[in-house]
Amino acid sequence: MSEEANSDEFIYGIHPVLEAVQAGKQLQKVLINPEAKSPQINELLGILRKQNIRHQFVPTQKLNKLLKGNHQGVIAYVSLVESVDLYDFLNLELAKGTTLRILALDHITDVRNIGALARSALAFGFHAILVPEKGSVLIHSGAIKSSAGALLKIPLIQVASLTAALKDIRLHGISIVGITESGNKELKYIPKDDHLTLVLGSEETGIRKEHLALCRDTYRIPQGENIGSLNVSVAGAVAMYELVR
């Protein structure tokens, strides 16, 4: 899917982007023209690497498509949805004593899917959505619109490493389960009384092997023989409904 965004969703120019990073403003991604070279660019790159902020080198043509103006070779996507810290979220929610539900999206790249999944997560009482910063769709106005505003109402946890995050979640006593076509058990057997993180894989490759290895169990959705796999947003909605059925 395209990463096109409205002009009010990004900051452009070397000094404005540098100031935004230094001020601690949450940025989803910074695009930089590799031909733009200056002490300020080097300073910006150093901070981006130090703070592990997602950045990418792209040709001038792509920057010009995003913005018709003097971007000076630097455009930064602003986070329209503030990311929640994983540790703070876990400690706060577990202290409440409620049965915790987290939806983990393993590199979902379609803005419509993440929107639909956010709507389902909100409808079925999930407490947060967990996504990796790299390899997933940007949370811009298109995603928020697709979610019918759900992404503004449910906590979003963006992490540098989904693998590390899932390991931390497991250390907090929260079970991790995956939804796959070849799951070990039928969906009806999914545990409903435990703290649970539900993992859904990407539209093309499914759940990555390293994340499957962290799952306590995997579950499949029974379906007829004459149909292909369910869309990830449909499978996710069915699985989340089963947990509250």
Which of 68-72, 188-192, 194-198 is predicted with the least confidence, judged by mean pLDDT? 68-72
Domain with residue 31: its CATH number is: 3.30.1330.30
Q: Are 40 and 149 members of one domain? A: no
Give the pLDDT mean for 147-152: 89
Q: Identify the pLDDT of residue 2.
A: 42
Give the pLDDT mean for 213-239: 89
Domain membership flag for residue 166:
yes
Tens of pLDDT, residues 113-141: 999 999 999 999 999 999 998 888 777 77
Q: Are 122 and 160 members of one domain? A: yes
pLDDT reading at 3 higher than 50:
no
Domain with residue 116: its CATH number is: 3.40.1280.10
Q: Are 183 and 231 members of one domain? A: yes
pLDDT reading at 5 higher than 70:
no
Domain membership flag for residue 1:
no
Instruction: Tell me which residue range forms the domain holding 96.
Output: 86-244
Q: Identify the pLDDT of residue 7.
A: 53
Q: Are 153 and 129 members of one domain? A: yes
Tens of pLDDT, residues 165-184: 999 999 999 999 999 998 99
* Residue 84 binned pLDDT confidence (cut-offs 50, 70, 90): very high
Q: Are 95 and 215 members of one domain? A: yes
Give the pLDDT mean for 85-103: 94
Q: Are 28 and 56 members of one domain? A: yes
Q: Identify the pLDDT of residue 28.
A: 82
Q: Are 27 and 100 members of one domain? A: no
Q: Are 108 and 141 members of one domain? A: yes
Domain membership flag for residue 127:
yes
* Residue 228 binned pLDDT confidence (cut-offs 50, 70, 90): low
Q: Identify the pLDDT of residue 229.
A: 77
Q: What is the mean pLDDT of the chain?
A: 89
Q: Are 195 and 94 members of one domain? A: yes
Q: Are 209 and 104 members of one domain? A: yes
Q: Are 67 and 116 members of one domain? A: no
* Residue 194 binned pLDDT confidence (cut-offs 50, 70, 90): confident
Q: What is the DSSP string of the chain?
A: ------GGGEEESHHHHHHHHHTT--EEEEEE-TT--SHHHHHHHHHHHHTT--EEE--HHHHHHH-SS--TTEEEEE-SSPBPPHHHHHHHHHHTT---EEEEEES---HHHHHHHHHHHHHTT--EEEEESSSS----HHHHHHTTTGGGTS-EEEES-HHHHHHHHHHTT-EEEEE-TT-SEEGGGS-SSS-EEEEEEBTTTBS-HHHHTT-SEEEE----TTS-PPPHHHHHHHHHHHHH-
Give the pLDDT mean for 64-86: 86
Q: How many structural domains comprise the chain?
A: 2
Q: Are 65 and 115 members of one domain? A: no
pLDDT reading at 227 higher than 80:
no
Domain C-terminal end among 78, 101, 134: 78
Domain C-terminal end among 78, 99, 134: 78
Domain C-terminal end among 78, 96, 114: 78
pLDDT reading at 33 higher than 60:
yes
Give the pLDDT mean for 202-225: 91
Q: Which of 191 and 67 is assigned the larger pLDDT?
A: 191
